[in-house]
Chains A and B, each alone.
Chain A
Amino acid sequence: MNVIEINENRCKGCGLCVGFCPKDVLEMRLPRAPQVIREDLCIGCKQCELKCPDFAITVEVKSHA
């Protein structure tokens, strides 16, 4: 399973990662940072990581063995 890490000190809660995720892996939980709710659905496209304007998300893609 891919590992999604969210740095809550950098996150501003804009919700872009939730919006760009094609698989509804993340959910917005204001006022805090988004939470990973369905890690198993993650396909490792890294849209959230690339499009996070605050460099708060990293996705570590593990190979599907």
Chain B
Amino acid sequence: MRWDEYLKKERLPSFWCAGCGYGQVMRSLAMALEKTRAALENTVIVSGIGCWGHVDSWMKPNAFHGIHGRALAFATGIKLASPALNVIVVMGDGDGVTIGGNHFIHACRRNVGLTAVVCNNLNYGMTGGQYSGTTPEDSITSTSRYGHIEQSFDICRLAEAAGAHFIARSISENVVATADCIAEGMKRENFAVIEVMSPCTTHYGRNNNMRKPIEMYRRIKSLAVPVGTAAKLSSEQMEGKFVTGILLDRPGEDYFTRYQNNIKVKAQTAAKEEGT
């Protein structure tokens, strides 16, 4: 299937604001489905609430629209009930790591074979641009008019510390690179986190002196450093910037495999005990 056959083109345009990067990420997601030759009937998109959580409205694969922050919990259930399915979890920064932060770290720890596409737009876009867990310090949002005073999460480092096995980061305008990251994540049996930096031009951009959508895209582009270049830079040069590319890819057994082994061992011991 071609990538655009995964989209419900008759329902376009999407409800996202003019200039929102989520349309680009939707294209990347469809391209990743094409790359992995995902069949519609074997793919499930599980979403939570938020602007990015609406992506399943324009995509043809089966969708499960959950409650705010709990997309990973539902997805874990779906994956364990039918391990053959491709389960893609779409979450925003508010949905994934702020309200659903607890589910996020525990999904990383359990290593259930899901692909989590976390779109980070630095605030709660749908509800009017309130600050979220990933809003950078000193930025203006509708609930921090004098500058945000909290520290922000780095989603990739959070996932790494929580024990995720595949972590990648991309920016929304690099459509092909994002598609590659998502496709690589889908190929892994392990829990994969793909963070996509996507601009919220309506709220975050306008509140922070980026009047036009393109200005926020240029700003994000200027802060992104590819993983190869980042290795050569000092920590001072990397101040305020973020690394893009595949950041971590370590082998490991996923939850389902370990569960199967566990049952097998248990059955063997029980059989031995019966025999004696």
Residues of A within 8 A of B (CB): 9-16, 18-20, 50-56
Residues from chain A with Cβ under 8 Å of B22 in the complex: 53
Closest to B198 in A: A53
Closest to A50 in B: B175
Cβ–Cβ contact A50 & B18, under 8 A = no
Residues from chain B with Cβ under 8 Å of A14 in the complex: 18-20, 201, 213
Give the size of the chain B interface in residues (CB under 8 angstroms). 26
- Residue pairs across A and B with CB atoms within 8 Å: the count is 59
Residues of B within 8 A of A (CB): 4, 7, 9, 12-14, 16-24, 26-27, 173, 175-176, 201, 212-214, 217-218
Closest to A53 in B: B23
- A14-B201, A16-B19 given; A54·B217 CB < 8 A: no
Once the chains are docked, how many angstroms separate the CA of A50 from the CA of B31? 11
- A15-B212, A16-B217 given; A51·B173 CB < 8 A: yes
Q: Which of B13, B26, B214 contacts A16 (CB under 8 A)?
A: B214
Cβ–Cβ contact A50 & B176, under 8 A = yes
Q: Which of A12, A20, A56 contacts B214 (CB under 8 A)?
A: A20
Cβ–Cβ contact B176 & A12, under 8 A = no
Q: List 17 A-B contacts (CB under 8 A).
A: A9-B13, A12-B18, A14-B201, A14-B213, A15-B19, A15-B214, A19-B213, A51-B175, A53-B14, A53-B21, A53-B24, A54-B14, A54-B23, A55-B9, A55-B23, A55-B27, A56-B13
- A13-B18, A15-B19, A55-B7 given; A50·B27 CB < 8 A: yes
How far apart are A30's CB and chain B's nearest CB, in angstroms?
Answer: 11
Cβ–Cβ contact B213 & A16, under 8 A = yes
Q: Which of B12, B176, B214 contacts A10 (CB under 8 A)?
A: B12
Residues from chain A with Cβ under 8 Å of B20 in the complex: 14, 53
Residues from chain A with Cβ under 8 Å of B173 in the complex: 20, 51
By CB atoms of chain B within 10 A, which of A12, A16, A53, A56 has the most?
A53
How far apart are A22's CB and chain B's nearest CB, in angstroms?
Answer: 13
Residues from chain A with Cβ under 8 Å of B17 in the complex: 12
- A14-B201, A15-B19, A16-B19 given; A54·B214 CB < 8 A: no
Once the chains are docked, how many angstroms separate the CA of A14 from the CA of B201? 10
How far apart are A18's CB and chain B's nearest CB, in angstroms?
Answer: 8
Cβ–Cβ contact A19 & B217, under 8 A = yes
Residues from chain B with Cβ under 8 Å of A15 in the complex: 19, 212-214
Closest to A52 in B: B23
Once the chains are docked, how many angstroms separate the CA of A32 from the CA of B88? 36
Residues from chain A with Cβ under 8 Å of B19 in the complex: 12, 14-16, 53
Residues from chain A with Cβ under 8 Å of B217 in the complex: 16, 19-20
Residues from chain B with Cβ under 8 Å of A10 in the complex: 12-13
Once the chains are docked, how many angstroms separate the CA of A55 from the CA of B11? 12
Once the chains are docked, how many angstroms separate the CA of A13 from the CA of B19? 8
Once the chains are docked, how many angstroms separate the CA of A16 from the CA of B176? 17
By CB atoms of chain A within 10 A, which of B21, B176, B213 has the most?
B213
How far apart are B212's CB and chain A's nearest CB, in angstroms?
Answer: 7
In the A-B complex, the 4 residue pairs with the smallest Cβ-Cβ separation, listed nearest first, are A53-B23, A19-B214, A14-B19, A12-B18
